[in-house]
Amino acid sequence: MAKQPTIITCAVTGSIHTPTMSDTLPLTQNQIAEQAIAAAEAGASILHLHTRDPDDFRPSVEPDHYAPILGRVKQSTDAVLNITTGGAPTMLIKERIKAATKFSPEMCSLNMGSMNFAFHPLAKRYDTWKYDWEKDYVEGSEANIFRNTFADIREAAETLVPHDIKFEHECYDVGHLYNLKYCMDVGLFKAPVFIQFIFGILGGIGPEVDNLIFMKRTADRLFGDDYRWSVLGAGGAQMPLATTASQMGGNVRVGMEDSLLINRGELAESNAQQVTKVRRIIEDLGCEVATPDQAREILALKGGDRVAF
């Protein structure tokens, strides 16, 4: 039996990395749109999108900050657009679902449990900062609890499921898989679900291959054939874990939300550079990269003609 094509998701900007950390991190709406389009042209069939405040480039969830990105990317590419409901760890679920509620995308992310979500060690790498909010934001993550209670998950599901949105269920540890199973058992989500295994965030499971195998075995036991899966490795784990996942029959996520690097110690020039690299690895190892339409079929998406942008 032929292998199913591998879906590449590109997460373009995120909420962890700040302007000081890389001169090529897309910050403006124009930069985010341009890099998203280039990533799609390089082979990403799903674009996972955050936005930023146009004044000082801190993370934002305001629909007005999404609108120019969504319209331009939709006009320029057939890629599936996936709007975050993670936002930033400092935001409440009511804020984080506003854009998805307004724009009714084909997909949006949804974190499957509360956790310590910390990136404060990054602050030690920088002596000066481009914007006055950055240092406090990064250092302050030591005290963050990224809240995603069962009530929060229910609120997101009940608000967004009527839009026929497919969730990228972000699972940062094995307990999050059990949370998802419970939510399916009580009728919040229907199969097939799409799970993003996330490794290497401080506060979540570590980026070892043993942990990937453990998460996959646990998901097999809990969900059987009722799920599709992808792997996100943070920082330097991005390409090694993506390579392993692709050979295990999974899908992959790259992008400057998850890692600013293209090689060890070398900052990426763009999101497209990361997509190009992982596509080359996947294809050189004998796998096919999914087109946007193939991704829609694999994940049972509603189609780009049913979004509200």
Q: What is the pLDDT of residues 4-59, one digit of tens each?
A: 999 999 999 999 999 999 999 999 999 999 999 999 999 999 999 999 999 999 99
H, E, C per residue of 173-184: CHHHHHHHHHHH
Q: How far apart are CA 146 and CA 272, in angstroms?
A: 29
∠ CA 136-141-147, rounded to 5°: 130
- Average predicted confidence (pLDDT) for the chain: 97
| Overall average pLDDT of the 57-80 stretch | 98
The alpha-helical segments, DSSP class H, found in the chain are: 29-42, 63-76, 93-96, 98-103, 134-140, 150-160, 174-185, 209-223, 238-247, 271-284, 292-299
| Overall average pLDDT of the 162-179 stretch | 98
Query: Is residue 2 scored above 60 in pLDDT?
Result: no
- CA-to-CA dists, residue 137 to 59, 88, 122, 150, 234, angstroms: 10, 10, 11, 26, 19
Q: Write down the pLDDT at residue 189.
A: 97
Helix (H, G, I), strand (E, B) or coil at 24: coil
If pLDDT is split at 50, 70 and 90, which confidence band does 3 have? Answer: confident
Q: How far apart are CA 32 and CA 165, in angstroms?
A: 22
Which of 23, 22, 33 shows the shortest CA–CA distance to 10? 33
CB atoms inside a 10 Å sphere around CB 188: 17
If pLDDT is split at 50, 70 and 90, which confidence band does 90 have? Answer: confident
Read off the tokens for 240. Answer: 């090694």
Contact 30, 70 (CB under 8 A): no
Phi then psi for residue 275, to 5 deg, are -60, -45
Read off the tokens for 143. Answer: 């005290």
- CA-to-CA dists, residue 40 to 153, 225, 281, angstroms: 30, 28, 17
Q: 175 versus 87: which is more confidently predicted? A: 175
| Overall average pLDDT of the 1-5 stretch | 75
Rounded CA Rg of the chain: 18
Q: Write down the pLDDT at residue 88.
A: 83
Query: Is residue 210 scored above 60 in pLDDT?
Result: yes
DSSP H or E stretch at residue 11:
strand 8-11
Burial call 106-134: b when 16+ CB within 10 Å, e when fewer: bbbbbbbbbbbbbbeebbeeeeebeeeeb
Q: How far apart are CA 55 and CA 70, in angstroms?
A: 19
For the chain, give the percent of residues with pLDDT over 70: 99
pLDDT in tens, 251-305: 999 999 999 999 999 999 999 999 999 999 999 999 999 999 999 999 999 999 9
pTM to 2 decimal places: 0.97
Q: How far apart are CA 85 and CA 294, in angstroms?
A: 24
Q: Write down the pLDDT at residue 267.
A: 98
Q: How far apart are CA 182 and CA 268, in angstroms?
A: 39
Q: Write down the pLDDT at residue 281.
A: 98
Q: Write down the pLDDT at residue 201.
A: 98
If pLDDT is split at 50, 70 and 90, which confidence band does 142 have? Answer: very high
If pLDDT is split at 50, 70 and 90, which confidence band does 89 have? Answer: confident
| Overall average pLDDT of the 120-128 stretch | 98
